[in-house]
A and B are shown apart, each in its own frame.
Chain A
């Protein structure tokens, strides 16, 4: 059933898309931002080896310019958001009125809408009278992502000059870092789903190349392969989902059978013009893509393995940017998801459920890791689950805000772990780390700041974003409710539980890495400025980023400074569904903080009190209690094993599914090919030969040849007989002659 009100709003001058072709130069030419790193990629690829610093200087310079441009674009957007007075683009739709079916986009006159996204396209290719465009759709989320991606990328570039210094594929590393940045930027400004799909896969392949950077070692290339293949499984969903949307949208547009345009898709979905079933199926398909790209439960297994790549790559790709592409995609196509999953007014849906499960599952796994990067990887999975869950419950702004803050503190943590590992030449917290706080004070401090931000203690960044998500679930009904789009109490419980778990595993991680005594070899040293400065910049952002979106009604600042992030990032336009916002709740904030503190307290008591005491007693730096729960209770031991085995999902995927396909299934198919199909062919060939033999021996040799031979023999025999009359005697000849003449004469007489 269509919503009559929205339908009425769409008829007069076609459908409002909430986009404009106007806007300032910077917003219209946002394609420059991805173009710069792309240029850097080509430059490094072809000339990098000849540059004095192996091409890294080109990468840093161009990504730096891109960052500055992004900041300028952000400023332009802030101006545009409230002050734009341009014309909006409308789209003719296949409406009940005949006059609406006029064809292509028409310029409407409803000027002066705030928050119109800036749309700029060029023709990419044309097929069957449908023009496929490439272009940019610049709005709040896109601008936010531009800033995040260029900033983190720039810092990672700088960091990498020291981290991978001396690597034999230094130039190649920077080339692909640039290509990744370009692809990711292209993804966030994508104007249509096809372009999104293209850049989506491009970031995937960059991830593949960079995870497998040290491909001499088989585990690394295995991890790269796993990442790519898992993502490919999700991409399958993306391809199918995009296809469904293409034709579904086309059914609502006259004179055109499909459209990839994100704005059109969302606007039509939001206006209730698209079939709900199609939207639901498309959403499920797209969700598969999100699950693989953003490491959601069931398809998350590649992400921890992806830590085989160099740490800067992990920070940039597998924490701050690429893995949030899934979250961004949901945010981009929110009109589709919002309608497809009926997010408003519901209390559970697939997206929220997957997000919630992921956040718990990831957090649990983070407890049993020895490898510091894997702790962070599972933490990333868990936090991505948070974001997806937030989107699933309708807390769009909160999700993107969490994405924003998470990018900083998680990048900070990854780079910090890289700095520590760089110093001790290992990622193993239990055997090669410990006590690093004395040796690496900067790393230690920034890591702790990042951890607190991640755990979500006020006033650091993570607190604000996590709190908004919890508010957005609308599940805090016990104390009067927080509003929001539905009553997702279950999600609230999962979110709060995860908050406690997060605080606990980060405490464990900090203890194992920085406290106790150093368990490795040699003496670790603090890294140089090219590592430390990015760390501090990110740590600083991890402290302050949360302040950008202080909740409404926060007492200490004026109203004009509250919810700035939401104001500028969340679109208020036709291509975005009208979502409702939760009301911030002091009680929830306090409760969640208490939960976090309790998580820290439990883990702190275990490590800082009991393990510390046991270490002193044992005279060495222990990493766990010798008589812990797992050794005392079989059930706990089983649980531990279950976690260590990563829920056996890897066994399922690698051994059963992948191994099965590669092994028995493929072998069976090939056997069928060789034995059955080729067997038929060969049998046909052999039988043809047999038939040929038969024909040859029985027919050709006996019958056909027989006739020939017989005739030969006959003539030879006849000759033998005739030979006898040739006596050589003239009289015999004369007799024949005479006889013949007589016969001829007789014939002559008879006939004539």
Chain B
């Protein structure tokens, strides 16, 4: 039942991440919450990988860490730009996508 603990941890992390993405208005915090979600997934992958004794999960996890790094880079750049333009990183004010 070792797997269950990992999965529960991952689910908790995922739920916290989702809460952060949906509820927080600070751009940086949203980015960090996304990281939480991704890492929840990573934990899942590594856990399954360990249980099934294959390396596919770890490879995916590494791949996701790499992508997450790039994503945080781009995300922070966008947040920085937002700040430059609007002097705020409050996401509630950003509704230009509204049709």
Interface residues of chain A, those whose CB is within 8 Å of chain B, are 723, 726-731, 733-735, 738
Contacts and interface: CB of A to CB of B under 8 A. Distances in A.
B22 A728 contact: no
Interface stretch (B55-63, B66-74, B88-96): B88-96
A738 B18 CA distance: 9
Nearest to A726: B99
A738 B98 CA distance: 19
14 contacts: A723-B99, A726-B98, A727-B98, A728-B94, A728-B97, A728-B98, A728-B99, A729-B95, A729-B98, A731-B21, A731-B22, A731-B30, A734-B21, A738-B18
A735 B94 CA distance: 16
Contacts of A727: 95, 98
Nearest to B34: A734
B91 A731 contact: yes
A273 to B, nearest CB: 108
B96 A730 contact: no
B58 to A, nearest CB: 25
A727 B91 CA distance: 12
Interface in B35-78: none
Q: Which of A728, A733, A738 has the most CB of B within 10 A?
A: A728
A241 B92 CA distance: 113
A701 to B, nearest CB: 35
Nearest to B98: A728
A721 to B, nearest CB: 14
Contact of A730 (B18, B23, B91, B99): B91
A738 B22 contact: yes
A729 B23 CA distance: 12
B22 A735 contact: yes
Given A726-B98, A728-B96, A731-B21, 16 more contacts: A723-B99, A726-B97, A726-B99, A728-B94, A728-B95, A728-B97, A728-B98, A729-B91, A729-B92, A730-B91, A730-B94, A731-B22, A734-B21, A734-B22, A738-B18, A738-B22
Contacts of B21: 731, 734
Contacts of A726: 97-99
Contacts of B23: 731
Contacts of A728: 94-99
Contacts of A731: 21-23, 30, 91
Q: Which 5 A-B pairs have the closest CB atoms?
A: A728-B98, A728-B95, A728-B97, A729-B95, A726-B99
B24 to A, nearest CB: 8
Q: What secondary structure prevails in chain A residues at the interface with B?
A: helix
A738 to B, nearest CB: 6
Interface residues of B, number: 13
A733 B97 CA distance: 10
A733 B94 CA distance: 13
A723 B94 CA distance: 17
Contacts of B97: 726, 728-730, 733
Q: Which of B18, B30, B97 has the most CB of A within 10 A?
A: B97
A731 B96 CA distance: 13
Contacts of B98: 726-729
Nearest to B95: A728
Q: Which of A723, A729, A734 has the most CB of B within 10 A?
A: A729
Contacts of B91: 729-731
A502 to B, nearest CB: 120
B22 to A, nearest CB: 5
Interface string B17-31: 010011100000010
B4 to A, nearest CB: 18
B84 to A, nearest CB: 19
Contacts of B96: 728
A734 B92 CA distance: 13
Contacts of B18: 738
Contacts of B95: 727-729
A729 B94 contact: yes
Nearest to B18: A738
A231 to B, nearest CB: 96
Contacts of A723: 99
Contacts of A733: 97
B55 to A, nearest CB: 28
Nearest to A733: B97
Contacts of B92: 729
A728 B97 CA distance: 4
A733 B18 CA distance: 13
A727 B18 CA distance: 19
Nearest to B99: A726
Contacts of B30: 731
A726 B98 CA distance: 6
Contacts of A734: 21-22
A738 B99 CA distance: 21
A567 to B, nearest CB: 126
A730 B22 CA distance: 9
A728 B92 CA distance: 10
Nearest to B92: A729
Nearest to B97: A728
A96 B81 CA distance: 130
B91 to A, nearest CB: 6
A731 B95 CA distance: 10
A731 B99 CA distance: 15
A201 to B, nearest CB: 93
Nearest to A742: B18
A734 B30 CA distance: 12
A735 B30 CA distance: 13
A392 B97 CA distance: 120
A77 to B, nearest CB: 118
Contacts of A735: 22
A599 to B, nearest CB: 126
A729 B98 CA distance: 7
Nearest to B21: A734
Nearest to B96: A728
A380 B30 CA distance: 134
B37 to A, nearest CB: 10
A734 B91 CA distance: 13
A731 B27 CA distance: 11
A730 B97 CA distance: 8
Contacts of B94: 728-730
Q: Which of A723, A726, A730, A735 has the most CB of B within 10 A?
A: A730
A646 B22 CA distance: 123
B10 to A, nearest CB: 15
A157 B94 CA distance: 123
B94 to A, nearest CB: 7
B53 to A, nearest CB: 26
A728 B98 CA distance: 3
A650 to B, nearest CB: 99
B16 to A, nearest CB: 14
Nearest to B91: A731
Nearest to A739: B22
A726 B99 CA distance: 7
A730 B30 CA distance: 11
Nearest to B23: A731
B23 to A, nearest CB: 8
